[in-house]
Structure 1
């Protein structure tokens, strides 16, 4: 894992990356700080990938930043050329499990991407999206979000520095 992370274009600090992650073309992938990437992620960085600070990604992510060219191709169904389309994941995005991110996607700051989503295109900042294809169902409270950001209350940062523990209530009668 350490060898893979050293091959990245940029790798920030205090990241927690599962050992089962696969990154193709790691030299075209940039990671910010305080990032968590869960088990079994597959990232194809051919077209460029930027994951900014504070991002949390659940298990089984599939992310593509390039696709085979088919328009004016020399062969069918496609030829040996590629369409490179950078993927950007903004600060403090939370991505659920089993999400697919397609080439050229841009997920705005503070978004929440529901489990099983297929992301394509641009998602506005602070959006909460679900479905296939994903659609915005609501937005986060911007005043609350930006207050916490100004106070530097980033979960993975706080977890590391203050040794936060999950608070789990197992009393099912409530």
Structure 2
């Protein structure tokens, strides 16, 4: 039974990986899916991207760098209702904002990233966070809204990067 489960899981992840590769504007080598994930047609994926349950919504451009990892239940939302339009609480138009995520970024479980945000290289976003503002490179941020509370050891990070020690 365990062997059959592995075969089913491999088929399941291969199926969703194929769907992502067909839908995304571009997709680098070595896309890994640990759980069902969706991208938009305006998504650009780097190399060695790992999704464990990512959902993307909206018309804004989404760029994700190399060696990206996401936990389960993550979302990136790039389109928002226009609450200053011709009707209340909002009209039929949308406001689209892009998202840029650098290399070696790690999102914990259930992180939401809203449009208009840039997350720098090597940043870590704590589980359950909502990212509404830019997060600088090497920052560790969390909360609702996410705030930087610590920085990675940049020298150690760069040494590991130079040695090619990637997960």
The TM-score range, normalised by the shorter chain, is 0.7 to 0.9
Alpha-carbon distance in 2 for matches of 1:6, 1:109: 26
> For residue 76 of structure 2, what is the aligned residue in structure 1?
63
- Structure 2 matches for 1:72-111, cutoff 5 A? 73-111=85-123
- Structure 2 matches for 1:112-127, cutoff 5 A? 112-127=124-139
In structure 2, list runs of 5 or more residues that go unmatched.
Answer: 1-15
Which of 27, 33, 46 is the aligned partner of 2:41?
Answer: 27
Q: Which moved more, 1:2-11 or 1:46-55?
A: 2-11
How far is the alpha carbon of 1:117 from its aligned partner?
0.5
In structure 1, list runs of 5 or more residues that go unmatched.
Answer: 156-174
1:35–1:134 distance in 2 versus 1, CA, 3 Å:
same
TM-score by length of 2: 0.85
Q: Which has the higher helix share?
A: 2
Q: Which runs of 4+ in 1 moved over 2 A?
A: none
Aligned length: 151
How far is the alpha carbon of 1:3 from its aligned partner?
3.1
TM-score by length of 1: 0.82
